[in-house]
Structure 1
Amino acid sequence: MMETAEKAWPSTRMCPSHCCPLWLLLLVTVTLMPMVHPYGFRNCIEDVKAPLYFRCIQRFLQSPALAVSDLPPHAIALNLSYNKMRCLQPSAFAHLTQLHTLDLTYNLLETLSPGAFNGLGVLVVLDLSHNKLTTLAEGVFNSLGNLSSLQVQHNPLSTVSPSALLPLVNLRRLSLRGGRLNGLGAVAVAVQGLAQLELLDLCENNLTTLGPGPPLPASLLTLQLCNNSLRELAGGSPEMLWHVKILDLSYNSISQAEVFTQLHLRNISLLHLIGNPLDVFHLLDISDIQPRSLDFSGLVLGAQGLDKVCLRLQGPQALRRLQLQRNGLKVLHCNALQLCPVLRELDLSWNRLQHVGCAGRLLGKKQREKLEVLTVEHNLLKKLPSCLGAQVLPRLYNVSFRFNRILTVGPQAFAYAPALQVLWLNINSLVWLDRQALWRLHNLTELRLDNNLLTDLYHNSFIDLHRLRTLNLRNNRVSVLFSGVFQGLAELQTLDLGGNNLRHLTAQSLQGLPKLRRLYLDRNRLLEVSSTVFAPVQATLGVLDLRANNLQYISQWLRKPPPFRNLSSLYDLKLQAQQPYGLKMLPHYFFQGLVRLQQLSLSQNMLRSIPPDVFEDLGQLRSLALADSSNGLHDLPDGIFRNLGNLRFLDLENAGLHSLTLEVFGNLSRLQVLHLARNELKTFNDSVASRLSSLRYLDLRKCPLSCTCDNMWLQGWLNNSRVQVVYPYNYTCGSQHNAYIHSFDTHVCFLDLGLYLFAGTAPAVLLLLVVPVVYHRAYWRLKYHWYLLRCWVNQRWRREEKCYLYDSFVSYNSADESWVLQKLVPELEHGAFRLCLHHRDFQPGRSIIDNIVDAVYNSRKTVCVVSRSYLRSEWCSLEVQLASYRLLDERRDILVLVLLEDVGDAELSAYHRMRRVLLRRTYLRWPLDPAAQPLFWARLKRALRWGEGGEEEEEEGLGGGTGRPREGDKQM
């Protein structure tokens, strides 16, 4: 047979004969358990950055008990918003005695039982907004003596029990906005005992009257009654609003100024009346309200109304702020505000102004010297003209023209404000910014040009802004940064170019920014970044935002130097969500040089290949995000985090991970927060858990964890306390939605473990002891009887068969295949002999042994081509043995031996089985002399044609070739 068909016998491994007792196994299990101890809450999550602050949001809870039952009693804040609770039972939070803040917004609360907040003696903030409460009953707020803020906004609240709020002796802020209350009097009765109340919000109710009712608490400073149905202010006593400083009556239906004569308003410092059809000047004539206490915004001023307002505001003291919002102003002529007192702040927002010009023209001389803040937002301004030579406002430092329709800004448009520090031109339609528009603004520190239509930034546009620290150009249409565009910005620290159309950056793009610390280039169309781009800012840049660009790398090797290698001060780098489908691979040493980087975000990329050396230089990294890469990553390469010993936060949510290994996570000894939700993990490796000694927060939600004995340790790990596991009681057993990791039956993992170990190991040990002895002592005897049995079986099946398929089966080694195929086969098959050859006639797919047995029994003779290679072949030896068994069984000589080589006694002695065959059987030698070879073929053919073995034994003197005869040999 062929050498390639030979098979080595399997080696035998010895197993220990003893078994571990149950207690020893348990001891080993406990010893190998991780040193960190997790804890979790059924429906809440503790804030990682704010310990004892708990969020139980959107858990579909119908009772607070489902959330608070497993919370620690020393919890400080609790958020139960966006659930389905309808009722609070008495003492629902009794064991949370240290709670300071309780948020119950966006539930379905209809009833608050008396004593619902028992035990919350230190509660400071309670928010019940956006529920379905219709009444505040007596006894509801018992025990809340320390409450400072109560929010009951946007409830269909129609009644408040007179004594419901009495326990709130320290209440300072009360909001009942968005209810269905009809009168202030009932509320005044409920709050009259609140000696600390400072703010009362009753906006958006159905109030039609102020009384009847007692005076409001003397501590009340702010009363908000906006968006009600007040037509008159009757019913309230004159002293009702005696102590109120800020009164908001905006958006009611008050049309008669006489209704204010019934109230004492002299102490009011600010009165809002916007949205009322009221003659404001008549009001000032008949009431005791001070003109400077009235907010003129939104009031109908009529013809010459602005002059009348200014005359009313006259006084010896400067006016802090004049607010003229929503007055329908369309045009402001020169000196329009010269009759007004000296102002510090002027707000003309929410009007219809189309032109303001240079602000100095609106004011008188004294006003120009004092004005500091100018706000003209939400108007219809279309352009800002040149103001070269205009009146100067020496103290004006803040100007805002946001939310207009400004298309162009002329040269030196702000020359009237040489002291300007803050300029907001954002959210306009700006398409042209003159190169000299910002000249002489040497004191400007903040410039906002975001959300406009700018396409080009020109050289020297910012040349005079020597003190500018923040420049915002976000969401424009800038596609090219020309050389020198930022020249002169020596103090700039923040540059925001996000949301533009930048495709390429050159080495000159960032020149002139020696102190830049924060650079935002997100949501552009950058195709690549290089180290030369960041060369001008490499010493100072700390934050670099490259989110949502078009960065792509098609090879793991960079032809150019790593793009960030010189940014030695960078501590925050954002590369997530590259378009259109995200980064697919990271080149080797991509982050080389970022030795101080602390935060790196690579989320929302389809990373398919991450080399293990990519984070090699990030020894100071504290936060790494690789979330939402499920269509790319599968398992992280070994050693990828080996240098991240300072990592605290790792986000691998939806990254497609299948396993956690020590080779990946073994070095993260300082990791505190680990997000693994929505991965393909079936277990959380216990050896990995033991190495994460600093872990405090673990998220395994929506992972197909399995309920097997391999996860038995995980069940115990989840029920301890140190690491917070997010919602540990919700982890189901893979696809079994009714079985949970924290409670699956683990008894099967311990049932009679010692007995099972003994029963399984003892027979195995005995068998392994017996098998080698039997193998050594009786291998060939057993093998002989086995094949004798098979021969007997085969003979029984073939007992009636008289004809053979082949004249001879040729047994040879692959090393002699050329002689067999080139000489033996042509000579015999041309002589009408039918030969069986293994490579041609063996049936594919059958066992080798079965093919050999069939070949021997389906052939009249078996020709063995003997050589040194043949003697060393186990399979050839087997074929000889099978032929011998047939010889013994049938009593017929069917074996013909052909010696290709002269094998001496010394060599033959090592193959005792073949030696015995050669000593007992006749054989033919292959002559090397060509003249003797025809005789050899004649003798071989005659041996194959011979009938019975007895006749063949009588032939003599037929040996072919020379050689020393051996004892007992018979040559043909």
Structure 2
Amino acid sequence: MSFFINGNIFLYIVFILVHNGNGEECTKVKSDQYYSCEGRNLTYVPTSIPLFIEMLDFSFNFLPSLQKSTFPRLDYLKRLDLTRCHIQYIADDAFHNVRNVTTLILTGNPVSYIGPDGLNSLLKLHRLVLVNTGLHSLNIQLENLTELQELKAGTNNIQSIALPPFMINFNNFCLLDLHVNNISTIKLNQTSVLRGMRANITLILSRNPILHIEPGAFQGIYLEELNILGAFVSSAAKRDGLKALRGLKVGRLSIGNYNFKKTNAAANYLDGLCSMIFKEIYLLRIEKFVSEDMYTCLINATKITLNHCYITAMQHVPFPNLKELYIANSEEPIELEIYHLHSLEKLVVVENRPTLLKGLNYMPNLQHVDLSRNNLVFSQFDCCTQYFIGMPNLRSLNLSDNQNMYLSKNPFAGFSSIEILDVRFTRLGFLSRQFELFKNLKNLKYLDISYSSSNILRTMTFGHLSHLQVLKASGNHFQEDALNYVFVNLTALEILEISDCGILNIEARAFKGLTRLKHLFLSQNKLVVLDFVTHPYVKSLTMLNVERNTISSISNYVLQNLPKNLSVLDLSFNPFDCSCSQIAFISWITSHQHLIQQSNNLFCRQLTQGSKIRVLDYDIESCEHIRRLTIVLSICAVTVLSLGAVLTYKFQFYLRYGCILLRGYKVSRLQEFSYDAFVIYSSKDESWVMNELLENLENGIPPIQLCLHVRDFEVGKTITSNIIDEGIMGSRKIIVVVSQHFIESSWCRFEFEVAQSWLVMQGNANIIIIILEDVEEEKTKKVFGLHKHLKKNTYLKWSGNPLSKMRFWIRLRKAITTGN
């Protein structure tokens, strides 16, 4: 213990320095049950964290030592992430106050000591992550953790897969991850605990330098999965190691290399696969993959994945049990002729070099086919019925990202069971009348013909697709008025994508009958107006995407009649008109940011080259001020001419303000003032003004005479007259006490605007701002001129700190007594 402390004295000095620094508070993420303290420079777990949280991310902070008092009591905490917190020492019962945690992550901590009972209080722990923690063995004190299901100890220096004997009673244990360790030898006595466990274990040994496996080490063991990708030092070691796995039963076997090795592979180095029993096999970058020899070892597999392997064909092996076949990134051109795989249910052949497709014939169990990204060309004589014959249960067909696909008359005859058809980014050639194309796809639910170079005519009707729920046709061209006719009878349609189609205008009848339409994508078109969204045909819309069109504004009628269920509206990157004539639309955007997706991507139209201005940043205060001034002047004129004294009294607020702006009160600068400063404040902040401001200024040395409305305004005189005559004109300086109450007070806003206007007319800058409490920046914009004043001028901020108070009063006195 003393050695540990002495050896890390420097680390504890850093700990003390950080502890004296300022850590940031934790924040709620998504819900009340999930809090994040990630990277907050914290040296302790804040006690302010709610007791009921279920997930806590405390990663990238500084907790070199975990003691019993480190964590506050969090009885409901299930997931605790302590990634890279510099943890070196874990004392006994360190997790006593979080004993109900089921997932503990200690990744990247240089743990050098764990007490005998350091982890044993976590009786409900299911998942323990000790990746990159400096472990040398699996001999960890975990006796009490009988509920443990997963142990991840990758990227350490572990040399043996031997588990502690007590783990044989861990009945729910199912995952042991030992990737990137230093395991070179696996002996029979190291697997005794694995052999005795009841649960089906997943064992990950990838990227270990395995040199030797003792024959019989895995005899009689059943593993859910064995991952030995990149786990042998040579092909000879792999050959001998696979043979030593004789008698192993495994659900999924993953074997191969992460990179091709430019070495001569040992002859028949994969023969050992024939001595194992497995259901699924994943082969990655296998050297010298000889198909006929290898397939005999895979004969009983139900799922085969060949990724980056040297294969050419699969023509002679029946594979009686094979249900799923994946071939991706083949290093050789493939001749795909697999009509003999009668049990196959799913076929995925993607991203291969030029593939020769001779057809998928008479495969009655086949349900899913993915032939995307293979550079295929479907000729005009065969597509599509000649390529797919005798597959009555085919549900999904993906032919996207190929070269050309020529559609002859009735190309999908016999495809009545298909529910998903994807031909996006494959050029379609129409060799027949378009209204016949999809008439046999009566059960189709998903259709994607995006960017297929299609010229969609009025005759390309989707009317036969009464069950279609998703239609994607972006990147094509709708000829003339085809948009008004092609979607007829798609009564089940919920998602429609027709982006990047050059659409100028959409009439309401285009969506007639689409009563279930929820998501509509119209981005990258040339739309100017959105009048169609007010029609009852689209009343079910919940999401509308019209980004990158030519919309400059949206009328009030459209805004007021948007579909009631609309929850997402994307208007990004349209050239919006930012002017006073559009103040209603801009205000609507500001107040509906919860509805507008990516509101930060709304920009004003650029008339000249320069930086973009966001719509949210457009200064509408000037428009508001002009509008307010116009209203005030109009009211004054109407009042004087028509209603006289009665209306003058009623609207004195506006009249006096207008008079100040017009006349400017051109009073001599040499006049004598009755007060040193006039205080503008909310009556709800009166206690602070009387107990702090008045007490320290008027009773100080020298005394400073303040003008307070509650005390110094003349009785019987109107409030506006008192504000102007006694307060503003009778005082050398003006003190403004800004708080939440100040922002919400109409009289405070009036006093500040009048004072500001008066001082501008006089050419003085004698306003002193005191921030009594923090106010959100957005709320300061409610008071005309306040937001800009705070940005351009120095202000005082009240603080309860004694030292800060002293500086506050010195600076305030100086500001009042200096100048005119």
Q: Is the 8 A contact 2:74 2:98 kept in 1?
A: yes
Q: Is 1:410 paired with 2:295?
A: no
Match of 2:342 in 1: 466
Report deviation, 1:243: 4.8
Q: Is 1:111 paired with 2:47?
A: no
Q: 2 CA distance for matches of 1:721 and 1:572? A: 33
Q: Is 1:355 paired with 2:258?
A: no
Q: 1 CA distance for matches of 2:601 and 2:248? A: 66
Q: 1 CA distance for matches of 2:424 and 2:471? A: 11
Report deviation, 1:404: 1.7
1:201-280 superposed matches below 5 A: 201-206=129-134, 218-219=145-146, 221=148, 223-228=151-156, 243-244=166-167, 275-276=181-182
Q: Is 1:428 paired with 2:309?
A: yes
Match of 2:125 in 1: 197
Could you give the per-residue CA deviations for residues 834-881 of structure 1, whole angstroms, max 9, x where no partner exists? Answer: xxxxxxxxxxxxxxxxxxxxxxxxxxxxxxxxxxxxxxxxxxxxxxxx
Look up the equivalent residue of 1:619 and give its one-letter code.
Answer: T
Give the direction of change, closer, same or farther, for the CA distance of 1:509–1:100 in structure 2 (3 Å limit). same
Q: 2 CA distance for matches of 1:575 and 1:323? A: 41
Give the direction of change, closer, same or farther, for the CA distance of 1:329–1:135 in structure 2 (3 Å limit). same
Q: Is the 8 A contact 1:591 1:617 kept in 2?
A: no
Match of 1:236 in 2: none
Report deviation, 1:194: 3.5
| Match for residue 82 of structure 2 among 152, 170, 179 | 152
| Match for residue 177 of structure 1 among 103, 107, 130 | 107
Match of 2:403 in 1: 525
Match of 1:615 in 2: 487
Q: Is 1:503 paired with 2:377?
A: yes
Secondary structure at the aligned position of 1:447 is classed as strand
Report deviation, 1:759: 10
Give the TM-score, by structure 2 length. 0.59
Secondary structure at the aligned position of 1:515 is classed as coil
| Match for residue 675 of structure 1 among 524, 537, 545 | 545
Q: 2 CA distance for matches of 1:545 and 1:268? A: 38
Q: Is the 8 A contact 1:112 1:140 kept in 2?
A: no
Q: 2 CA distance for matches of 1:232 and 1:500? A: 44
Give the direction of change, closer, same or farther, for the CA distance of 1:691–1:495 in structure 2 (3 Å limit). same
Look up the equivalent residue of 2:448 and give its one-letter code.
Answer: K
Secondary structure at the aligned position of 2:549 is classed as coil
Match of 2:529 in 1: 659
Q: 2 CA distance for matches of 1:726 and 1:571? A: 28
1:852-867 superposed matches below 5 A: none
Q: 1 CA distance for matches of 2:461 and 2:37? A: 46
1:892-931 superposed matches below 5 A: none
Look up the equivalent residue of 1:521 and give its one-letter code.
Answer: L
Match of 1:597 in 2: 468
Unmatched 5+ residue regions in structure 1?
A: 1-85, 234-239, 248-266, 364-370, 374-396, 761-972
Look up the equivalent residue of 1:509 and give its one-letter code.
Answer: Y
Report deviation, 1:544: 0.9
Report deviation, 1:177: 0.8
Asked which structure has the greater RCO (Cα within 8 Å, sep 6+), the reply is 1
Report deviation, 1:232: 12
Look up the equivalent residue of 1:616 and give its one-letter code.
Answer: V
User: RMSD across aligned C-alpha pairs, in angstroms?
Assistant: 5.1
Match of 1:639 in 2: 509
1:841-880 superposed matches below 5 A: none
Secondary structure at the aligned position of 1:100 is classed as strand
Q: 2 CA distance for matches of 1:167 and 1:640? A: 62
Could you give the per-residue CA deviations for residues 626-664 of structure 1, whole angstroms, max 9, x where no partner exists? Answer: 3456xx344445633333222101123343432212388
Q: 1 CA distance for matches of 2:516 and 2:529? A: 23
Q: 1 CA distance for matches of 2:601 and 2:22? A: 25
Q: Is 1:534 paired with 2:412?
A: yes
Match of 2:688 in 1: none
Match of 1:79 in 2: none
Look up the equivalent residue of 1:146 and give its one-letter code.
Answer: Y
Q: 1 CA distance for matches of 2:338 and 2:160? A: 57
| Match for residue 99 of structure 1 among 17, 32, 42 | 32
Q: Is 1:569 paired with 2:443?
A: yes
Question: Mean alpha-carbon deviation: is it higher for 691-700 or for 224-233?
Answer: 224-233
Secondary structure at the aligned position of 2:557 is classed as helix
Unmatched 5+ residue regions in structure 2?
A: 1-20, 258-264, 607-611, 639-820
Match of 1:625 in 2: 497
Look up the equivalent residue of 1:148 and give its one-letter code.
Answer: K
Q: Is the 8 A contact 1:431 1:455 kept in 2?
A: yes
Q: Is 1:649 paired with 2:531?
A: no
Q: Is the 8 A contact 1:200 1:223 kept in 2?
A: yes
Look up the equivalent residue of 1:194 and give its one-letter code.
Answer: L
Greater per-residue strand proportion: 2
Give the direction of change, closer, same or farther, for the CA distance of 1:654–1:155 in structure 2 (3 Å limit). farther
Report deviation, 1:596: 2.1
1:752-901 superposed matches below 5 A: none
Q: 2 CA distance for matches of 1:628 and 1:87? A: 51
Match of 1:694 in 2: 565
Look up the equivalent residue of 1:623 and give its one-letter code.
Answer: I
Give the direction of change, closer, same or farther, for the CA distance of 1:159–1:183 in structure 2 (3 Å limit). closer
Secondary structure at the aligned position of 2:558 is classed as helix
Q: 2 CA distance for matches of 1:288 and 1:663? A: 69
Report deviation, 1:722: 11
Report deviation, 1:623: 0.7
Could you give the per-residue CA deviations for residues 277-330 of structure 1, whole angstroms, max 9, x where no partner exists? Answer: 76655x949x9977778979688887xx55x431x556xx66557959424452
Corresponding pairs, count: 584
Match of 1:550 in 2: 427
Match of 1:888 in 2: none
Q: Percent identity?
A: 18
Match of 1:27 in 2: none
1:289-304 superposed matches below 5 A: none
Q: Is 1:309 paired with 2:191?
A: no
Match of 2:620 in 1: 744
Look up the equivalent residue of 2:572 and give its one-letter code.
Answer: R
Match of 1:512 in 2: 390
Look up the equivalent residue of 1:438 and give its one-letter code.
Answer: V
Secondary structure at the aligned position of 2:114 is classed as helix
Q: Is the 8 A contact 1:608 1:633 kept in 2?
A: no
Report deviation, 1:271: 9.3
Match of 1:438 in 2: 317
Report deviation, 1:675: 2.0
Question: Mean alpha-carbon deviation: is it higher for 719-728 or for 146-155?
Answer: 719-728
Report deviation, 1:672: 0.5
